[in-house]
Amino acid sequence: MTLQDILLLLGAGFLVANVRTAFDFLRFLKRRSSALLVWLPPKPPYYGMLVAIGVLMGLLIVYNISLSPIRSGRQLFGEAMMFLYYTAAIAMNRAIARGFYADGIWAEGGFMTYRQIGAISWREGKDVTLLLTARMRHFARTLVVPGNLYGAARRLLRDKIEAHDIKFLHTGLDLGLGDGRDKV
């Protein structure tokens, strides 16, 4: 496997990540007017290093185009996709406000409508984290809630459960005795 093949493979992976992030960002732009309680996510760990990688990828592309006479399209494709990821996709992902919207919750891993939520739980520690489990598929998402918004988030969840936007069905032995709002 040559360097061009490796860069083509990396480029394909980064292309998927870039398209997914762009799609999420467009969904966010459409949905942001329905925000109920939102906040911007914190910078990811090693954010400075991510920016530095993006700058270095840009310099590498300029070098390869201007100073290197023969470069394959496969190599430039891989480098360009990595450059876009580290410069544009990370910035777009940070611009997506996390939190509660009229039709669902935007968690760290993406958007989940209220009807998709099968179970919720809070994890309190250094950060307050809301755990969301999907009703139909077996996956969970997390949402780190800022401490000053914790009470508002709990009230909002109680209201959504009371309005039957979030329904807890088939979550164990259901004798009809519990109130779904108690799960918040």
pLDDT per residue over 52-100, tens digit each? 999 999 998 888 888 776 667 888 899 999 999 999 999 999 999 999 9
Q: How far is 25 from 19, CA to CA, in rounded Å?
A: 10
Q: How far is 140 from 159, CA to CA, in rounded Å?
A: 22
Residue 184: pLDDT over 60: no
Q: What is the pLDDT of residue 35?
A: 96
Domains of the chain: which residue ranges? Answer: 3-96, 107-183
Q: What is the pLDDT of residue 48?
A: 92
Determine contact, residues 28/96, Cβ cutoff 8 Å.
yes
The length of the chain is: 184
3-state helix, strand, coil in the chain (%, to 5): 55, 20, 25
Residue 4: pLDDT over 60: yes
Residue 181: pLDDT over 60: no
pLDDT per residue over 106-161, tens digit each? 999 899 999 999 889 999 888 899 999 988 777 889 999 999 999 999 999 999 99
| Residue 28: Cβ-neighbour burial (10 angstroms; 0-12, 13-18, 19+) | buried
Helix (H, G, I), strand (E, B) or coil at 141: strand
| Residue 62: Cβ-neighbour burial (10 angstroms; 0-12, 13-18, 19+) | exposed
Residue 173 confidence class, pLDDT cut points 50, 70, 90: very low
